[in-house]
Structure 1
Amino acid sequence: MPDTMSPEAAQALMPVLRETIREAASLALPYFRVGAQTRARTWSKAGGSPVTEADVTVDAFLKVRLSQIVPAAAWLSEETRDDPIRLGHDLVWIVDPIDGTRAFLSGHPDWSIAVALLSGGDPLIGFVHAPAGERFYEAVAGSGATCNGEPIAVSARGALTEARVTGPKPMFDRLTRGVARAGADPAFVQIERVPSLALRVARVAEGSIDVGLVSKDARDWDLAAADLILREAGGTVCDLSGRPTSYNRPEPVHGELLALPNTLRDVAVAAMA
Structure 2
Amino acid sequence: MSAPMSSEAAQAIVPALREAIREAASLALPFFQAGGHTRAKIWSKAGGSPVTEADVAVDTFLKIRLSALLPEAAWLSEETSDDSVRLGHDLVWIVDPIDGTRAFLSGHPDWSIAVALLSGGEPLLGFVHAPATDRFYEARAGAGATCDGRPIAVSALGALDGARVAGPKPMIDKLSRGATQNGTAPTFVPVERVPSLALRIARVAEGVIDVGLISQDARDWDLAAADIILREAGGSVSMLDGQPTRYNRPEPIHGALIATAHGLRDQVVGALDGRA
Task: Give TM-score, length-normalised by structure 2.
Answer: 0.97
Cross-structure match for 1:21: 21
The reply to whether residue 11 of structure 1 matches residue 11 of structure 2 is yes
User: Unaligned regions of 5+ residues in structure 2, if any?
Assistant: none
CA RMSD in angstroms comes to 1.1
The 5 Å alignment of 1:1-273 reads: 3-181=3-181, 184-273=184-273
Q: Percent identity?
A: 74
- In 1, the alpha carbon distance for the partners of 2:19 and 2:146 equals 16
Q: Cα offset for 1:193?
A: 1.5
- In 2, the alpha carbon distance for the partners of 1:113 and 1:125 equals 14
Q: Cα offset for 1:263?
A: 0.4
Q: Are the structure 2 counterparts of residues 46 and 159 from structure 1 closer, same or farther at C-alpha, using a change threshold of 3 Å?
A: same
Q: Cα offset for 1:146?
A: 0.1
Q: Is the Cα–Cα contact under 8 Å of residues 177 and 185 in structure 2 kept in the other structure?
A: no
Q: Is the Cα–Cα contact under 8 Å of residues 238 and 258 in structure 2 kept in the other structure?
A: yes
Q: Is the Cα–Cα contact under 8 Å of residues 162 and 186 in structure 1 kept in the other structure?
A: yes
Q: Deviations over 1:142-175 (max 9, x none)?
A: 0000000000000000111110001001000000
Aligned-partner residue type, residue 133 of structure 2: G
Q: Cα offset for 1:240?
A: 0.6
Higher mean C-alpha displacement, 81-90 vs 177-186: 177-186
Provide the secondary structure at the position in 1 that maps to 2:55. helix
Q: Cα offset for 1:4?
A: 2.4
User: Unaligned regions of 5+ residues in structure 1, if any?
Assistant: none
Provide the secondary structure at the position in 1 that maps to 2:132. helix
Provide the secondary structure at the position in 1 that maps to 2:179. helix
Task: Give TM-score, length-normalised by structure 1.
Answer: 0.98
Q: Cα offset for 1:89?
A: 0.1
Q: Cα offset for 1:3?
A: 2.8
Q: Deviations over 1:52-85 (max 9, x none)?
A: 0000000000000000000000000000000000
* Structure 1 residue ranges, 4+ long, deviating more than 6 angstroms after superposition: none
Q: Is the Cα–Cα contact under 8 Å of residues 76 and 92 in structure 2 kept in the other structure?
A: yes
Q: Deviations over 1:201-224 (max 9, x none)?
A: 000000000000000000000000
Q: Are the structure 2 counterparts of residues 250 and 182 from structure 1 closer, same or farther at C-alpha, using a change threshold of 3 Å?
A: farther
How many aligned positions are there? 273
Q: Deviations over 1:91-136 (max 9, x none)?
A: 0000000000000000000000000000000000000000101110
